Amino acid sequence: VIDCVAMTLTSPRYIGVDVGGTKTLSVLVELPPHGGHPIVLDRELLPSRADSDEAVGMIVQAVTALMERAATVPAAIGVGLAGFVDRHGIVRSAPNTPGLVGMDVAGELGLRFDLPTLVDNDANCAAVAAHRVVARDVDSLVAVTLGTGIGGGVVLDGRLLRGANGFAGEPGHMVIDPDGPECPCGQRGCWETFASGTGLGRLAREAVVAGRAPNVLAAAGSVEAVQGEHVTDLLHTGDDGALEVFARFAGYVALGIANLILLLDPEAVVISGGLSAHGELLEHLVGAELDTRFATSVRHRNVKILVGPGGPESGAIGAAILGAHRQAG
Ligand SMILES: [Zn+2]
């Protein structure tokens, strides 16, 4: 007991904030030295806001609440959000929080709290969390977040891959079918038009129109109303139509992953996000596709495919870890 108390008093604490589409999760985390397992001491869940003042205000409110409850000042603050954050910390795009575009959010928070502060892409946060929490023995990994779209982060040879602008590791808009469906980004056939939650919904509607998924149609009520959830909700019943759609979806997930493996040669691919709730089935289907259809990509390699191991707090924990990197300089 005494050892635990001593560690609590001496390990540095950080606050990590994960600004999601509807909710903002903030955690107070202890990061033991030498890459030890992060310990979440407290958490605060608040609604996300699109407006710039309200969005920053919500982060300030969460950080303040965590500091007051613990009667502690963290060593640094890290914030993760969906979108592009450039090397200077300026938010360049933010689909969930458009009010933050053009803002130096880290600068604003740094002034408010007088602490080292960093803002980064949420998938980069997920990648460093995966590296520290679930794949500690791995030097190179690709983290892929399957949600409404697809996020990505790459840790290569132990370092988060940044690129010229800080935008490296965005596989969602790799084009995998030039004649494919229109993507909101303006291109056609992006990976995320097939292998995200939105993509699963599209594949499900195709199957329904072809008469191959009658129970998915019955669950949704009409073709237009069919969403990815109508498929995933039926998976546990063993419904043939739902399983066929999900297998096709997994084929597209595997296709993108195969390309990433060829380009980056990771030891592990970590899949997180809403669709990783069906982890065992997805892991099995993706693994089978990689071993057969994409054998060329994985031959001579021993790539671990890990689905959904990080848990819902991994984005916020990763933000705290990146905050710690900022503090370390
Ligand atoms: Zn796109």
DSSP, residue by residue, 217-230: HHHHSSTTT--HHH
User: How far does the centroid of ligand 1 lie from the alpha carbon of residue 149, in Å?
Assistant: 9
How many A from CA of 187 to the centre of ligand 1?
A: 5
Q: If you measure from the C-alpha of residue 277 to the centroid of ligand 1, how many angstroms do you get, rounded to a whole number?
A: 24
- Contact between 224 and 204 under an 8 Å Cβ cutoff? The reply is no
How confident is the model over 134-188, as pLDDT tens digits? Answer: 878 899 999 999 988 899 999 999 999 999 988 899 899 999 999 999 998 899 9
Residue 75: what pLDDT? 96
Q: Ligand 1 centroid to 172 CA: how many Å?
A: 7
201 phi, psi to nearest 5 deg: -60, -40
Q: What is the average per-residue pLDDT within 293-317?
A: 87
Q: How far is the CA of 207 from the centre of ligand 1 (A)?
A: 23
Distance between Cα 171 and ligand 1 center (Å): 9
- How far is ligand 1, taken at its centre, from the CA of residue 327, in Å? 34
Cα 212 to ligand 1 centroid, rounded to whole Å: 28
CA of 219 to the centre of ligand 1 (A): 29
CA 181 / ligand 1 centre spacing (Å) = 10
Mean pLDDT check: name the lowest of 69-78, 253-262, 275-284, 311-320. Answer: 275-284
Q: What is the pTM of this model?
A: 0.87
Residue 279 has pLDDT above 90, yes or no: no
Could you tell me the distance, in angstroms and rounded to a whole number, from the CA of residue 240 to the centre of ligand 1? 30
Task: Write the CA distances from 50 to 24, 108, 124, 207, integer angstroms.
Answer: 12, 17, 21, 35
Residue 197 Cα to ligand 1 midpoint, Å, equals 14
Ligand 1 centroid vs 252 CA: distance in angstroms? 15
Give first-to-last CA distance, the chain, whole Å.
Answer: 33
The DSSP bridge partners found for residue 141 are 155, 268
Q: Tens of pLDDT along 45-95?
A: 999 888 888 889 999 999 999 999 999 999 999 999 988 899 888 999 888
Cα(222) to centroid of ligand 1, in Å? 27
* Burial state string for 62-76 with b = 16 or more CB within 10 A and e = fewer than 16: bbeebbeeeeeebbb
CA of 230 to the centre of ligand 1 (A): 24
Q: Give residue 188 CA to ligand 1 midpoint distance, Å.
A: 7
Task: Output the CA 179–ligand 1 centroid distance in Å.
Answer: 13
